[in-house]
Structure 1
Amino acid sequence: MKLHGPVPGGPCWAELGTSDLEAAKRFYAKLFGWRPETDSRRQTGGYAVARLDGAAVAGLAPLYQRAQPVAWNVSFAVADADAAVRRVSAAGGAVPQGPVDVSDAGRTAVAVDPTGAVFQLWQARTFPGAGLFDAPGSLGWVELLTREPGRAADFYTTVFGWGVTASARYPRWSVDGADFGGMVTMDEKFPHEVPAHWLPYFAVADVDTAAVDTTDSDGTVLMEPTSLPDGPRIAVLRDPQGAMFGVYRAGDER
């Protein structure tokens, strides 16, 4: 990720919704060295902010709704959540939740793009988002997996004003020329029941070690460590509760 902090339109936060919050805290603490701090206020439902060297790096939360899947979610920074929601709707997306205030921290909404991928909007007040990017244990890249790349590109460039690099192999998203993510076209190798989704990638010092640590902690390696041509070394993993995420070697050029 070429972004070094939250900027309008860019990814600013990754948040896990999980069926076993305490187990997830242990898993990610071992894998990334995170130190989860749980909000003691009753209305937060046990929400925890994972910290690394004092910086907030990700959120860990229980499932708040019965139909909510175990998954990582990506939030994008906006100056005005209400205005962003109107752009989402006008561009063919949906807004199943929000905008709502999160105490004095900010204002958020849950949105769905026209291809079915869920994401979140975040209007910062006292909490801008992650305080560390592109360093071991922190958010390093976000990737959209969709069966309709053209429709997705039209939607996100309209809603956020992103740049998109024309590439049949791997289009990249950017804000003001800074790349922060990419797009994968889901083909027949993806099971039909897997919906379009956003996948966060976290930087690690060693991808192979992260894969071993994941299996040692009862997680799963979905894509074995791989060095991409002219790209980073990556792997795709799944935690014991079923949430998928990626890792890449910190310092690799993308």
Structure 2
Amino acid sequence: MLGRRQRDRRRCGQGLLRRVLGWTYQGDEAGRGGYAIGEVDGAAAGGIGPQQEEGAPSAWTVYFASDDADATAAAVTGHGGAIHLPPGDVGPRGRMFIGADPTGAAFGVWQAGTMIGAGAVNRPGGLTWEDLRSPDPDTARAFYTAVFGFRTEALADAGPDYTTYALANEELPLGGMGGMMGAEGQPAHWLVYFGVVDVTATIAAAEAGGGSVLVKEVETPYGRMAGLADPDGAPFWVIQTDGHGQPDRSG
């Protein structure tokens, strides 16, 4: 599951994601409190909704799945985390809460009802990777391992304090956890990566749609990528992908 909270100009964010990721939007926003679900080829890719706190910056929220949101919320506080929005039902679609790890990085938890979560994953237009950036990655890793049962593994090519994380019973990783990058003084945060067919074309589309380039296009051992921001300033990354290399967890 992936959610995006922004100021009242959320149509700007929707338009940019339509332009750069090919998202379409289905359903009645009014019936979801102004929350729109973006889709790729008919599968949910993420959501865009209004800010829940006035003055908060626009940002993406990574949601982790849980069979029992209330029990997971208790585990979050039991292992030194915090609850920003307590567990609550989202109609028949599911139950969710917003929390933060002990280093301050915010995340969501989703207990599926009629909506499982993101179905467009590991393909162009969909979520392909999540990165935690923390000033204390060891503390953060211990927290996520204890609360969600993740298995971590060092990835030396990405730096001495970087590890991937995966479900305990799966070999392929979901994302990574490491130290801070970018401007000094940033708080701990999660970054999201979307798959695209052509990074160069995606950058051009983002700039034409009012977005900005935070990190120029770069070749890495994991693919060509770039850091972008939408018109409201919410950062995200894009990585060139053919949609292979990860299992389908959408169902």
How does the TM-score come out when normalised to structure 1? 0.89
- Give structure 1 regions of 4+ aligned residues with deviation exceeding 3 angstroms: none
- The aligned counterpart of 1:119 is 107
Deviates more, 1:98-107 or 1:158-167: 158-167
- The aligned counterpart of 1:179 is 173
How does the TM-score come out when normalised to structure 2? 0.90
Cα distance in 1 for partners of 2:150, 2:141 equals 9
Q: Is 1:198–2:186 an aligned residue pair? A: no
2:125/2:196 contact within 8 Å kept: yes
For the aligned residues, what is the CA RMSD?
1.6
- The aligned counterpart of 1:102 is 90
Please give the per-residue CA displacement for 1:114-167, whole angstroms capped at 9, x wherever unaligned.
Answer: 111000000001100011211100111111011101101110100101011124
- The aligned counterpart of 1:46 is 34
1:231/1:253 contact within 8 Å kept: no
Identity of aligned residues (%): 37
SS at match of 1:208: helix
- The aligned counterpart of 1:36 is 25
2:45/2:118 contact within 8 Å kept: yes
Cα distance in 2 for partners of 1:227, 1:167 equals 18
What letter corresponds to residue 96 of structure 1 in structure 2?
A: H
How is 1:65-80 mapped onto 2 (pairs within 5 angstroms)? 65-80=53-68
Cα distance in 1 for partners of 2:136, 2:223 equals 25
1:141/1:202 contact within 8 Å kept: yes
Please give the per-residue CA displacement for 1:159-187, whole angstroms capped at 9, x wherever unaligned.
Answer: 10101112451311111222010123115
Counterpart pick for 1:240 among 231, 235, 243: 231
Cα distance in 1 for partners of 2:145, 2:97 equals 19
Report the Cα offset of residue 45 of structure 1. Answer: 2.3
Counterpart pick for 1:131 among 119, 122, 133: 119
How is 1:138-149 mapped onto 2 (pairs within 5 angstroms)? 138-149=126-137
- The aligned counterpart of 1:158 is 146
What letter corresponds to residue 177 of structure 2 in structure 1?
A: M
Please give the per-residue CA displacement for 1:195-222, whole angstroms capped at 9, x wherever unaligned.
Answer: 1111111000011211121112221111
1:134/1:203 contact within 8 Å kept: yes
SS at match of 2:207: helix
SS at match of 2:57: coil
Cα distance in 1 for partners of 2:203, 2:178 equals 22
Cα distance in 2 for partners of 1:217, 1:116 equals 32
SS at match of 1:50: strand
1:115/1:151 contact within 8 Å kept: yes
Report the Cα offset of residue 25 of structure 1. Answer: 1.3
1:78/1:122 contact within 8 Å kept: yes
2:15/2:209 contact within 8 Å kept: no
For structure 2, which runs of at least 5 residues remain unmatched after alignment? 247-251
Cα distance in 2 for partners of 1:181, 1:102 equals 27
What letter corresponds to residue 26 of structure 1 in structure 2?
A: G
1:105/1:124 contact within 8 Å kept: yes
SS at match of 1:150: helix
SS at match of 1:83: helix
**Aligned residue pairs, count:** 238
Cα distance in 2 for partners of 1:111, 1:30 equals 31
Deviates more, 1:148-157 or 1:218-227: 218-227
SS at match of 1:154: helix
Report the Cα offset of residue 37 of structure 1. Answer: 2.2
How is 1:210-229 mapped onto 2 (pairs within 5 angstroms)? 210-228=202-220
What letter corresponds to residue 34 of structure 1 in structure 2?
A: W
Cα distance in 1 for partners of 2:179, 2:199 equals 24
Cα distance in 2 for partners of 1:66, 1:118 equals 17
